[in-house]
């Protein structure tokens, strides 16, 4: 009998799995159930949709020969009976289940974010996770003079840059001492901050948003944001707020079905959570790590597609070494592995800074092995660097060639 594969969650991991499974000639039928009204799209490009550079069609992702069921939320599944239930009450059978339910934005503990009736966020406060969020934000940005982005990680920086490109004066409030602290060191973040300033974005780092208030004196102000109050007491006037404070894996379905859940749905190296049930992408936790990034989500989808299609029934996911890349109008960086050499006295550093061009490059080495790197502002050598990082072997020649074009090995 033809195996029926049900994929829950029509996002980036789901699309990649379906497309690879088809390309590998998998013998089963794949159905992708997605809660969003549209089929899968490249979420990483949402900030570019916000600026108007791309429209929704341009970021759509292919599904191979899979059947798409957009607007179909799965509300429960039974791992023993191998059935799932949709929001309309219908029940469908499956032979293999792939959970790819992604993550939800985290709402920070900031006073006044919720409406007085307790339902939803007050007017003018946004999250940015879906095309619908993006459309709402774009609509409000048209008449807005000032915006505050709470959170200065990758998402906060991309959102702020996009709002500034729309002509909105934008400020980032970030609790950590510097921007994107999970991927950049202090010096790189300082260069990034200057580049943001040149694009019209100011940053308040080491500063926490404590409360939001309505616009002083405005009618009905209570349910419409007008001010962000920082823990320092400083107040930022604004017409809209974007919350970019990280994400939390969507695990409720798995939890209700009795699957092991910690932060994410726990999976082994086969990406299995239970017999015939698998989890990939932002909802999955593998060897204690929830990545929350597109690269690992795709690697997991590739491994599972190889395994379930029969192309490589023994395929295993060994984990992904940390790496990230942001490429968005005027801001570009790539970061790999360990970027903070102060954590380990055995590490050496090679660093090139060009303040006039706004570029910063750094290699972190253990002996002749590359353990981490940052390129910011000038990504000319990013492919060579990514290759060397992936090889994880002794570097050939002087490592400077990984930072500068034209330097011979």
Ligand X SMILES: Cc1cc2nc3c(=O)[nH]c(=O)nc-3n(C[C@H](O)[C@H](O)[C@H](O)COP(=O)(O)OP(=O)(O)OC[C@H]3O[C@@H](n4cnc5c(N)ncnc54)[C@H](O)[C@@H]3O)c2cc1C
**Where do contacts with ligand X occur on this chain (CB under 6 A)?**
8-14, 33-36, 43-44, 46-47, 73-74, 100-103, 128-129, 154-155, 158, 250, 253, 281-283, 292-295, 297, 324, 326
Q: Hey, what are 274's tokens?
A: 């239970």
Any idea what the Cα angle at residue 148 is, between residues 143 and 151, rounded to 5°?
140
CB of 218 to ligand X, least distance (A): 30
Residue 160's Cβ-count burial label (10 Å; 0-12, 13-18, 19+) is buried
Determine the number of helices (DSSP H) and then strands (DSSP E) in the chain: 8, 26
CB of 213 to ligand X, least distance (A): 27
Nearer to ligand X, 40 or 226 (CB): 40
CB of 70 to ligand X, least distance (A): 9
- Nearest Cα neighbor of 395 from 374, 371, 362 is 371
Side-chain half-sphere of 336: how many Cα atoms within 13 Å?
A: 23
The pairing of beta strand 67-70 with beta strand 125-127: unpaired
DSSP 381: T
d(CA 358, CA 377): 6
Nearer to ligand X, 188 or 365 (CB): 188
CB of 356 to ligand X, least distance (A): 27
Residue closest to ligand X (Cβ): 11
Nearer to ligand X, 133 or 187 (CB): 133
CB of 305 to ligand X, least distance (A): 14
Nearer to ligand X, 164 or 227 (CB): 164
Query: Which conformational region is residue 129 in: left (phi greater than 0), alpha (psi within -120 to 50 degrees), or beta?
Result: alpha
CB of 283 to ligand X, least distance (A): 6
Q: Hey, what are 341's tokens?
A: 């050499």
The pairing of beta strand 240-243 with beta strand 331-337: unpaired
N-terminal to C-terminal alpha carbon distance within the chain: 57
Query: Which conformational region is residue 257 in: left (phi greater than 0), alpha (psi within -120 to 50 degrees), or beta?
Result: alpha
CB of 94 to ligand X, least distance (A): 13
Nearer to ligand X, 294 or 365 (CB): 294
Nearer to ligand X, 195 or 250 (CB): 250
Nearer to ligand X, 13 or 238 (CB): 13
- Nearest Cα neighbor of 30 from 43, 49, 14, 41 is 14
CB of 217 to ligand X, least distance (A): 34
Nearer to ligand X, 34 or 399 (CB): 34
């Amino acid at each position: 009998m033809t195996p029926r594969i049900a994929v829950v969650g029509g996002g980036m991991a789901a699309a990649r799995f379906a497309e690879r499974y088809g390309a590998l000639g998998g013998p089963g039928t794949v159905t992708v159930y997605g809660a969003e009204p549209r089929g899968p799209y490249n979420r990483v490009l949402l900030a570019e949709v916000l600026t108007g550079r791309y429209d929704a069609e341009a970021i759509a992702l292919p599904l191979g020969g899979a059947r798409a069921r957009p607007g179909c939320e799965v509300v429960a599944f039974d791992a023993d009976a191998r059935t799932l239930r949709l929001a309309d009450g219908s029940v469908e059978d499956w032979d293999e289940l792939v959970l790819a339910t992604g993550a939800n934005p985290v709402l920070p503990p900031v006073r006044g974010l919720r409406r007085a009736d307790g339902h939803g966020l007050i007017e003018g406060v946004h999250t940015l996770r879906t095309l619908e969020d993006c459309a709402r934000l774009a609509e409000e940005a048209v008449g807005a003079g000032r915006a505050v982005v709470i959170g200065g990680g990758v998402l906060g920086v991309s959102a702020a840059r996009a709002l500034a490109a729309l002509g909105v004066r934008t400020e980032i409030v970030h609790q950590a001492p510097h921007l994107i602290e999970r991927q950049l060191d202090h010096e790189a973040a300082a260069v990034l901050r200057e580049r943001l300033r040149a694009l019209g974005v100011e940053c308040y780092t080491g500063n926490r948003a404590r409360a939001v208030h309505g616009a002083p004196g405005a009618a009905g102000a209570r349910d419409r944001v007008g001010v962000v109050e920082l823990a320092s007491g400083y107040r930022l006037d604004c017409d809209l707020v974007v919350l970019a404070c990280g994400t939390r894996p969507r695990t409720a379905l798995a939890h209700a079905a009795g699957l092991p859940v910690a932060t994410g749905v726990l999976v082994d190296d086969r990406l299995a959570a239970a017999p015939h049930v698998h989890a990939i992408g932002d909802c999955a936790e593998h060897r204690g790590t929830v990545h929350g990034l597109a690269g690992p989500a795709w690697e997991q989808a590739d491994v599972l597609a190889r395994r379930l299609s029969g192309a490589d029934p023994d395929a295993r996911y060994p984990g992904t070494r940390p790496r990230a890349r942001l490429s968005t109008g005027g801001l570009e960086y790539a970061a790999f592995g360990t970027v903070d050499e102060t954590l380990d006295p055995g590490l050496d550093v090679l660093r090139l800074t060009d303040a006039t061009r706004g570029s910063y490059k750094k290699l972190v080495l253990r002996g002749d092995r590359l353990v981490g790197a940052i390129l910011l502002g000038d990504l000319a050598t990013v492919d060579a660097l990514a290759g060397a990082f992936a090889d994880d072997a002794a570097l050939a020649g002087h490592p400077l060639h990984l930072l500068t074009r034209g330097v011979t090995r």
